[in-house]
Amino acid sequence: MDYGLSPRERAWRDEVQAFIAEHVDERLVDETRLRGNEGRGAEAQRFLGALRQRGWDRIAFPEEYGGLGKTAIEQWLFIDEIETAGAPMLPLTLTSVAPTILRIGDEAQRREWLPRIQAGEVDFALGYSESEAGTDLASLRTRAELDGDQWLVNGHKMWNTMAHMATHNWLAVRTEPDAPKHKGVSMLIVPMDAPGVSVQPIHVWPGLRTNAVFFDNVRVPRANLIGERGLGFYYAAMALNFERLSIGSAGMARRIFDALVREVRVRVVDGRPLRGDPWVRDRLARLRVELDAARLLGLEVAIRLDRGEVPAAASSMAKACVSELAQRVADTGCEILGLDGQLHAEEPSALVKGRLQWLYRLAPMLAFGGGTNEVQRDIIGFMGHGLPRK
Amino acid sequence: MDYGLSPRERAWRDEVQAFIAEHVDERLVDETRLRGNEGRGAEAQRFLGALRQRGWDRIAFPEEYGGLGKTAIEQWLFIDEIETAGAPMLPLTLTSVAPTILRIGDEAQRREWLPRIQAGEVDFALGYSESEAGTDLASLRTRAELDGDQWLVNGHKMWNTMAHMATHNWLAVRTEPDAPKHKGVSMLIVPMDAPGVSVQPIHVWPGLRTNAVFFDNVRVPRANLIGERGLGFYYAAMALNFERLSIGSAGMARRIFDALVREVRVRVVDGRPLRGDPWVRDRLARLRVELDAARLLGLEVAIRLDRGEVPAAASSMAKACVSELAQRVADTGCEILGLDGQLHAEEPSALVKGRLQWLYRLAPMLAFGGGTNEVQRDIIGFMGHGLPRK
Amino acid sequence: MQLEPTLEQAEMRRAVREFCSREVTIERLLDWERSGVGVDEATSRKVAGLGWLGLGLPAEAGGGGASLADVAHLIEECGRGLLPRPLLARMRGALGLAWLAPRSPTLAAVARGERTVALALDERDAREPAGWRTRLAADGCHVSGDKAFVPDAEAADLHLVAIGAPERPRFVLVDRRAPGVSCAALHSFGNEPQAHVSYREAAVLEVLEGGLDFDDWRRHQVALALAEMIGGMDAALAATVGWVKEREQFGQKIALFQAVRHQVADMGTRFTSARHLAWQAISRLASGSLGVTDFHSAAAWTGASFKQICWTAHHLHGGAGFVVEHPLRFHSERAQSLCIRWTPEAPALARIAATLLD
Amino acid sequence: MQLEPTLEQAEMRRAVREFCSREVTIERLLDWERSGVGVDEATSRKVAGLGWLGLGLPAEAGGGGASLADVAHLIEECGRGLLPRPLLARMRGALGLAWLAPRSPTLAAVARGERTVALALDERDAREPAGWRTRLAADGCHVSGDKAFVPDAEAADLHLVAIGAPERPRFVLVDRRAPGVSCAALHSFGNEPQAHVSYREAAVLEVLEGGLDFDDWRRHQVALALAEMIGGMDAALAATVGWVKEREQFGQKIALFQAVRHQVADMGTRFTSARHLAWQAISRLASGSLGVTDFHSAAAWTGASFKQICWTAHHLHGGAGFVVEHPLRFHSERAQSLCIRWTPEAPALARIAATLLD
């Protein structure tokens, strides 16, 4: 066993690092931070353009559709470097929706959507959750009925992040009302400018915006249903599979931790260097151990992907572990910074650019969002250890 | 609100402390420790005799049956002092079985058993658990059938601690095979010298002995069934109620912690006082905070008893909290003592008399025994917060 | 032990609870947050009119003459009901003045609610008296220095300013509108209006004397924080219990999931132990019978428990508790900011270790 | 990255696993425990005969010439299979000698399994070289001092004795049966035969030179502990998964209780992260590419994880796993005793803090 990089991996990582050195600057990092890692600002668009020029927007594509033929471990190295640099991640349109369309769409659908996605003309919001269907996705109620050659969509989606900026919604809808809950769902592409679509902002604690989106007799062409009718629940899971490498990345928590460490190195309180405080030393060391451990859960996901497995248990481990660790980093960090730990990012004198208090407000969402950690632990039990379900 | 002692409480505590100063010496504490808090050695018998002389063996009795009329808070103070001193606790015969007989037995039964219990002639083992009925007590299979004027008992009990020394077994048996599981159980007193009773030792990790006890056509008089037929499941719960003040006591963990602190104060490693090590200081301080917090969960039990409530949730809180804290005390303590932390109590040079490694081996039992902590947390949810069961 | 509130205390609690449920609505909390000043004039006047700001002030000065325990009951309910933070800062300021200078001529106006006091203690890089660089001029009548993170600094009439000294700190009262006093408002966590304040030869109204020494004074202030935390965590726990009984996922109330139930159980256990530990510290501080580690244990445990309970509350509420219109986030922010200011873990543990080992 | 064992490594693992499941039965573990010597002669000879004691010794000395990673695979399986601790101590002793003195004339006999080596490093109150009081006589040929907690001290043929020195420690080899060497057996946790050993002008067989410096040598020993721990926690986890699938309470398999399932999930997560962190440290140590905190993170995390996993395993096994006839307790005792000796948390965290902050 060898945890060192192979020559090929090392060359790839060097290439990524060189790219980052060229294209990631403080303006980009600041924009990304202030927009809450949204990655839709002007600097992010410039960065995405540079990625496109290299063809790296296709890193998650299957090789037969222009993908780069990178192993999952190489993709993990890529994500690790991008996250560590503080640059925006590739949008889910490119890492999750596009690879799904490539696998489940027919030839016409692939020809319809892929070029426009790659040109940056089409950008998706992911419309899964509803008020009564959070982690329990199969309970969704937004329905689409076939009316001639069009789907008639009615209902609403919650936590539809980016819907106010996206061109289209990648929507899980109930098309077979009489089928068992998880067999009645399909995936439908709905243009955000279609008549009957309305967007209401939802503002959440960490200062991020998400949306409630309402569909009132919205009509979309029949061909916008991607893949087979009734298999949407599985397609959503497939789309999720393509996200797994980034969902459980410890990169953001590590980046904020590293910035905290840099601050602690120079800060003086009550005439004493903060780094001399035994409590501070102990807590930072323990967090570093936990971050080192959490990072390698991401490697486990990559290893399993490269073996051709669906890394359900491994990515659930990474997701649950990293989200809970982020909370500890934030909490300890706020306390280490003391009264300064309260300052918002907008405050010019905020230490560590206010990241600790922001992470303190963000972390709960990491744990309950994207499938609560309770469900992640159930998955680890069922899929990772073969525990019985019934 | 006043957490100070009232004049009456203070007088009582002073009396208990004076008693302890007179009757608890190193021989008693050593005997109690070496016997795993069993409290059946010669020194313990002497101590129990002194308690009897004061009438303190009846501290848990209802006042109308010769109890001392102590409030639960006063009983809690008593337990706290005894535990802190390292003396043996009153046997369950006196604190759990006797008060139950007083409440559920008829006049003849009370006259039969109470005087003999108080004279120390009768001493019970508590026979609840079976191989397939651990925390799930209602699944017990040991059965008693009425045959003329006698009960015919067949089956076995596990974890029947003290059975090899007790005169009688306080046995939960199934008397109504056709009733719903938890309505078919009764409480029966079985003499350990009855023909057909056999005891097999079970040795467990911390060096304690418990027993499997087998009943093969054992005959006992009809009058040995205490209380009503079929209510044994509730009687066992009642008997448990009388134990609640001691079950969740943080006293033992605190006593071992205090001894550890005394050792750390004087120990020198690598030429440096151990108490100067920041890691040691931090870990001991945190444990002390947790011990202070856990101790007051015992007070919560007492408060609720004094209000006339069944303190099910409060005592579950104390039990779960203290058992898990004991494990942290043990684990941290072993690590603080370093290589010395491995030495068994038998080793004369063992630091802190080998208590840390003993507690490390004992602590898991505290958490799964007496109703697993999972069940305790369910009880807290149901009884403490009114969460739904179905 | 006498572990129930007195009738008067229970009545006070009921009144505060009723006031907060009527006046401190989520709509108003959002308005106050947007306004940046944390509370409106009308609500401030109402609270002053109820006498809460002067409750713990000496009766001779026209205050309510209430004990520390009485005040802690009031504050616990304010914490539960999310009473605006500037009002809590004013209660602290009034008590802070009375505890330092029980015969101060200013107390009468404070007791009547005509003047409010802000506590200007900390400096940007110094939280301990020995590090404070704010100094009194040689004439003893002017103060110069910079104080940081002063709550309610802009709105308060008076600043209670701590003066650094090698032996023991001293305290003076300064008019917030006096020449030489200037505030720079901060955008801070917890949406508590705070400011960095600069004093440049600002005139001293009064030198404060005759009360508690600083360590004891600070313990009294921490006691108020403990009470506020207990109220806050009780509210977060109650909201969570209510929510898990109603919210359905996968066709059942989420309280039926054992993992959810157990998290609620652990919240309840922490709350119960923290409540006892906090109130034990408050009552023993009030009666002068603090044990060696009582106070520091209470500080470390209560602060950590409040944060832990808020974290679990958020987790179990999911998205519904995460929108800005849900009160939970106010509790979470107060948890962290109260911890940072009044109950940081490191010094509490260090003091306990010193007691145990040195 | 190449994260699968090689074919040879996999074959070695399979062989060890098969050996342990056949030879290391619970009945024998109980016998060995009762006997106080930890292993019987026949089993010792079998293991020596398999060449495992000499696997990592230089080929020139007749050893297997295997890499650190190869040996770690062997030891991981020994940890899983509860190979008697004296045999593990002998593997450590043999490797310890080879790493300090790769050209020692004694190695050949050790590689052949004819002689075994015990490591005599620690003293009762000193774990660091600077504190060791054991000294070489002026003639350079005799050693005097007291070593504490020496594993396998009585049974081993040779003692590798550490000599304290202000600059860097030195090491000598002493015949256990030489005049002046006496052992006092200890009744210790983990049922590992250990002894305090006294050396009084004991003759030195050999001064050890030409190998790793002490810090690096100790890291190599810690790497063996990491591998042993990973094997042990894998076994404890597997036993628990098997048990919760079979055990019934309240009319159902206990794995159907969400709280049980989640504890298993957390064991799995810790195991997965610890396994990677440990093996990353081992493989980077072997290839000379250790990152700044790799090793100390692995030590702190692996040790704590092993103990945590054993604790949860006991909890979920309940009474059935608590009887002396259940192998689980052997893992739990090894977890604590490996932690105490090789991966204590405090120094690991201190080193990480120093790397981050100084």
Q: What is the 3-state secondary structure (H, E, C) of A144-213?
A: EEEECCEEEEEEEECCCCCCCCCCEEEEEEECCCCCCHHHCEEEEEEECCCCCEEEEEEEECCCCEEEEE
Together in a domain, C36 and C89:
yes
Compute the half-sphere exposure of residue C234: CA atoms within 13 Å on the CB side of its CA.
21
> With contacts defined as CB-CB under 8 Å, which chain C residues touch D259?
258-259, 262
Cβ <8 Å between D128 and B270: yes
Q: Are residues C244 and C150 in the same domain?
A: no
Domain match, D36 and D106 both: yes
The residue type found at D248 is E
Nearest Cα of chain D lies from the Cα of C92 at a distance, in angstroms, of 38
Two tokens, residue A90:
């590739």
User: What range defines the domain where residue C125 resides?
Assistant: 117-208
Whether C298 is in a domain gets the answer: yes
Separation of alpha carbons A57 and A66, rounded Å: 10
Q: Which of D80, D111, D142 is the C-terminal boundary of a domain? A: D111
Instruction: Note the pLDDT tens digit of each residue in C182-212.
Output: 999 999 887 799 999 999 999 999 999 999 9
Confidence at residue B242, expressed as pLDDT on a 0 to 100 scale: 73
What the block records as the tokens of A121 is 């003309």
Same domain, D101 and D134: no
CA distance A70 to A13: 12
Report the alpha-carbon distance of residue B39 to residue B53 in Å, rounded: 17
- Residue D308 corresponds to which tokens in the numbers above? 């945590």
CATH code for the domain in which residue D230 is found:
1.20.140.10
Q: Which residues of C touch B257 (CB under 8 A)?
A: none
CA distance D135 to chain A (A): 35
pLDDT at D226: 98
Cα–Cα distance measured from residue D56 to residue D219, given in angstroms and rounded to the nearest whole number: 16
**Chain A interface includes D7 (CB < 8 A):** no
The structural domains of chain A, with segments of one domain joined by +, span 7-90, 124-230, 248-385
Quickly list H helices, D139-207: none
**Chain D interface, mutation test: which of C258, C260, C264, most D Cβ atoms within 10 Å?**
C258
The answer to whether B326 and B253 are in contact (CB under 8 A) is: yes
- Judgement on whether residues D129 and D245 belong to the same structural domain of the protein: no
Q: Is C301's Cβ below 8 Å from some Cβ in B? A: yes
CB spacing of A387 vs D353 below 8 angstroms? no
Q: Which helix (H) or strand (E) holds D175?
A: strand D170-175
Q: Do the Cβ atoms of D297 and A288 come closer than 8 Å? A: yes
Query: Mean pLDDT, chain D, as a whole number?
Result: 96
Q: Which two tokens stand for residue B215?
A: 């009943």
Determine the distance in angstroms separating the CA of C259 from the nearest CA of chain A, rounded to an integer: 7
Contact D259 C258 (CB under 8 A): yes
Interface contact A320-D269, CB threshold 8 A: yes
- What pLDDT sits at residue A309? 87
Q: Which amino acid is at C2?
A: Q
Q: What is the CATH code of the structural domain delimited by B248-385?
A: 1.20.140.10
Q: Is the pLDDT of residue D120 over 70?
A: yes
What is the C-alpha to C-alpha distance for residues B336 and C299, in angstroms, rounded to an integer?
25
Out of C266, C283, C349, the one facing B286 most closely (by C-beta) is: C349
Asked if the Cβ–Cβ distance from A134 to C319 is below 8 Å, we say yes
Q: What does the pLDDT look like over D311-337, one tens digit per residue?
A: 999 999 999 999 999 999 999 999 999
Question: Does D280 sit within 8 Å of A296, measured CB to CB?
Answer: yes
Round the CA-based radius of gyration of chain B to a whole number and report it.
22
Closest CA relative to residue D145, chosen from D174, D118, D117: D174
A297 shares contact with chain D (CB less than 8 Å): yes
> Do residue D124 and residue D100 come from a single domain?
no
Q: Answer whether B279 sits within 8 Å of A282, measured CB to CB.
A: yes
Please, are residues D171 and D160 in contact by the beta-carbon 8 Å criterion? yes
Note whether C162 and C120 are within 8 A (CB). yes
- Pick the residue from chain B with its C-alpha nearest to C356: B261
CB contacts, 8 Å: C127 with chain A: 269-270, 338-339
CB contact B285 to A (< 8 Å): no
What letters, b where the CB count within 10 A reaches 16 and e where it falls short, cover B348-360? eebbbbbbbbbbb
pLDDT band at residue A219, thresholds of 50, 70 and 90? very high
**CA–CA dist A116, B316 (Å, integer):** 61
Q: Per-residue b/e over A236-251, b at no fewer than 16 CB within 10 Å?
A: bebbbbbbbbbbbbbb
* pLDDT at position C189: 81
Q: Give the whole-angstrom CA distance, residue A94 versus residue A47.
A: 14
For chain C, which residues score pLDDT lower than 70?
none
Question: Which of B130, B243, B263, B290 is the catalytic position?
Answer: B243
Q: How far apart are CA C211 and CA C208, in angstroms?
A: 8
B381 touches chain C (CB under 8 A): yes
pLDDT over threshold 90, residue A352:
yes
Q: CB contact, 8 Å: D262 with chain C?
A: yes
Closest CA to B197 of B156, B229, B150, B148: B156
CB D164 within 8 A of CB D153: no
- Nearest CA among A237, A259, A247 for reference residue A314: A247
Residue C1 lies in a domain: no
Could you identify the residue written with the tokens 């050999």?
Answer: D206
A13 touches chain D (CB under 8 A): no
Cβ under 8 Å to A: D residues 33-72: 69
**Amino acid identity, position D120:** A
pLDDT at B37: 56
Cβ atoms within 10 Å, residue B199: 18
Q: Which residues pair with D181 in a beta bridge?
A: D199
Does C204 contact B at CB distance below 8 Å? no
CB–CB of A136 and C250 under 8 A? yes
Calpha distance B212→C324 (Å, rounded): 59
Are C145 and C267 in a shared domain? no
- Percentage, residues of chain A above pLDDT 90: 71
Measured distance CA(B109)–CA(B102) in Å, rounded? 9
Tell me, yes or no, whether C231 and C143 share the same domain. no
Tokens of D289: 């590419």
Spell out which residues of chain D touch residue B369, defining contact as CB-CB under 8 Å: 318-319
State whether C218 and C349 are in the same domain: yes
Q: Could you tell me where the beta strands, DSSP code E, fall in chain A?
A: 124-127, 143-147, 150-157, 168-174, 185-191, 197-203, 209-221, 225-226, 268-269, 272-273
Q: Which CATH architecture has domain B124-230?
A: Beta Barrel (2.40)
Q: What is the per-residue pLDDT across D278-321, written as a single tens digit (0 to 9) for each?
A: 999 999 999 988 888 999 999 999 999 999 999 999 999 999 99
pLDDT, average across residues D53-77: 96
> Dihedral through CA C117, CA C122, CA C123, CA C128, nearest 10?
140
Give average pLDDT by consecutive 10-residue segment, chain B, 390 residues: 88 96 92 72 91 90 85 92 87 89 93 91 93 83 95 96 94 93 93 97 93 97 95 86 81 94 96 97 98 95 90 94 97 97 90 94 93 95 94
| Amino acid present at C60 | E
Q: What is the DSSP letter of C205?
A: E
Judging contacts by C-beta atoms under 8 Å, the chain C residues touching residue A137 are none
Q: Domain ends where: D111, D135, D156?
A: D111
* Contact map slice: D 265-284 vs A, CB within 8 A: 265-266, 268-269, 272-274, 276-277, 279-280, 282-284
Higher pLDDT, B181 or A78: A78
Best mutation target among A280, A282, A284, A286 (most B Cβ atoms within 10 Å) is A282
Which token pair is C289? 């019978």
Is A4 within 8 Å of chain B by CB?
no
User: How close is the nearest chain B Cα to the Cα of D320, in Å?
Assistant: 9
Residues C300 and C283: their CA atoms lie apart, in Å, by: 17
CB B70 within 8 A of CB B86: no
Cα-based angle B236, B238, B243 (whole degrees, multiple of 5) = 95
Residue C15 is encoded by which pair of tokens? 């009144």
Instruction: Grade residue A39 by pLDDT with cuts at 50, 70 and 90.
Output: low
Tell me whether residue D175 is in a domain: yes
- CB distance D255–A387 less than 8 Å? yes
Amino acid code (one letter) for C33: E
Q: What is the pLDDT of residues A275-295, one digit of tens each?
A: 999 999 999 999 999 999 999
Chain D nearest-CA residue for B129: D319
Predicted pLDDT at A91? 87
What are the tokens at C191? Answer: 């949406």
Say whether residue C217 is in contact with chain D using an 8 A CB cutoff. no
Q: What is the structure's pLDDT at A339? A: 96
Same domain for D65 and D123, yes or no, is no
**Pair A365, C250: CB distance under 8 Å:** no
* Residue D47 and residue D87 in contact, taking contact as beta carbons nearer than 8 Å: yes
Q: Confidence class of residue A50 from pLDDT cuts 50, 70 and 90?
A: very high
Tell me the mean pLDDT in the region A176-204: 94
Give all strands (DSSP E) within chain B, no chain letters: 124-127, 143-147, 150-157, 168-174, 185-191, 197-203, 209-221, 225-226, 268-269, 272-273
**D237: pLDDT strictly greater than 90:** yes
- Segment holding C145, helix H or strand E: strand C142-151
Disruptive mutation site among B275, B277, B279, B284 for chain A (greatest number of A CBs within 10 Å): B279
Q: Is the pLDDT of residue D83 over 70?
A: yes
Name which of B354, B367, C269, C265 is nearest D310 in CA terms. B367
Q: Is the pLDDT of residue A33 over 70?
A: yes
Interface of D with A in 215-244 (CB under 8 A): 241, 244
Which ranges in A338-372 belong to alpha helices (H)? 355-368
Distance from CA of D218 to the nearest CA of A (A): 20
Contacts of A155 (CB under 8 A, 6+ apart): A130, A141, A142, A143, A173, A214, A215
Contacts of D318 in chain B (CB under 8 A): 134-135, 368-369, 372
**Cβ D226 vs Cβ D282: under 8 Å:** yes
Q: Are D191 and D86 in contact (CB under 8 A)?
A: no
CA end-to-end span of chain A: 38
Residue D1: inside a domain, yes or no? no
Q: How many domains does chain D have?
A: 3
- Residues D254 and D345 grouped into a single domain: yes
Q: How far is CA B224 from the centre of its chain?
A: 24
CB proximity D258 to C under 8 Å: yes
Tokens describing residue C237? 């726990």
Q: Residue C335: its pLDDT value, please?
A: 97
> Which tokens belong to B365?
């039992």
> What CATH number is attached to the domain comprising D38?
1.10.540.10
* Crossing angle for the helix pair B251-266 and B312-337, to the nearest 10 degrees: 20
pLDDT digits (tens, 9 = 90+) for D148-172: 999 999 999 999 999 988 778 999 9
A112 is catalytic: no
**Same-domain status, D186 and D244:** no
With b for 16 or more beta-carbon neighbours within 10 A and e for fewer, the A98-109 pattern comes to: bbbbbebbeeeb
Instruction: Please say if the pLDDT value at position A36 is more than 70.
Output: no
Chain mean position to CA D63: 20
Contact assignment for B282 to A278 by CB distance below 8 Å: yes
Residue of A nearest to D303 (CA): A289
Q: Do A282 and B282 touch (CB under 8 A)?
A: yes
